Structure 1
Amino acid sequence: MDLTAEIVPYQSIGGIKIKSILSENKELIEGNHFKYEMYNYFFIKYYLDHLLEIHVNVLSGEVFKISAFEGYKGSLQGVQIGTILSEDRKAEMEFDDFEEIFIYNGATIETELVLNPDNNKWEDKVTCISVYTKELE
């Protein structure tokens, strides 16, 4: 697993590929400290030290969503965890009011509001970037 790998929409994070079968990634999971949680009868979420979440369909064994959190060093077209989103960058994104996330080129970006002490303005800081199968759109 490469925690500096580019985040590729609809495809991968950290070298783990969307739509891959979990057993294809077995060496990644067995060699690391993954925990898991079954969040309904059909889906399991694997966690790696608060860095990654891998969502797997139990019936097919396929990875359908991967999320990166603080500590992941790769980027999504220049956007990294911890980045403050500029107004220009946000203008390139769609905002989902219901989920309260930004949608950007086939990925989702979660943010938190932080106060910038330099200009005393609230800004959006990236806390999570997720990629998923196109079927989830």
Structure 2
Amino acid sequence: MIKKLYIIILVICFTIINSCKTNADDNNQKWIGKYFVESYNKDNLKTSFDITIFNLDSINLLYISDDNPPEKYYNLKAIPKSSNKIKIIFNLNYKEMGIIYLEKSNDKYFISGDPIYFINPGNGIFQISKSQIIK
């Protein structure tokens, strides 16, 4: 009897672990790709992000702000905020200005910042183009 109970517990644990891994893999897959957005503020200064997500633990980001030299970041990690939203911290020295969020709504992707005016003044979120899926 104890042996049967032990086997049942092992099967339940394996099923739970396998289910969690499948959900994590599915969440990882939907983000893989290249993303690009650029916007201009009222002074016509450009902010752009070129983001390549290989998986949620391997993200490259090119950030261009105003007329400053481009900033390149490698091997960033995403923090899932929900099943359709991830947080990417690319520069802790910028505090909240060094954080972006990507959000998926149906087949569209959106980028936002904290504070939001950092990326798109006067709008809650800004659509970002997903140009390709990386294999």
Shared fold (TM-score greater than 0.5)?
no
Question: Which structure: greater helix fraction?
Answer: 2
Q: Which protein has greater RCO, CA pairs closer than 8 Å, 6+ apart? A: 1
TM-score, normalising length: structure 1: 0.30
For normalisation by structure 2, the TM-score amounts to: 0.30
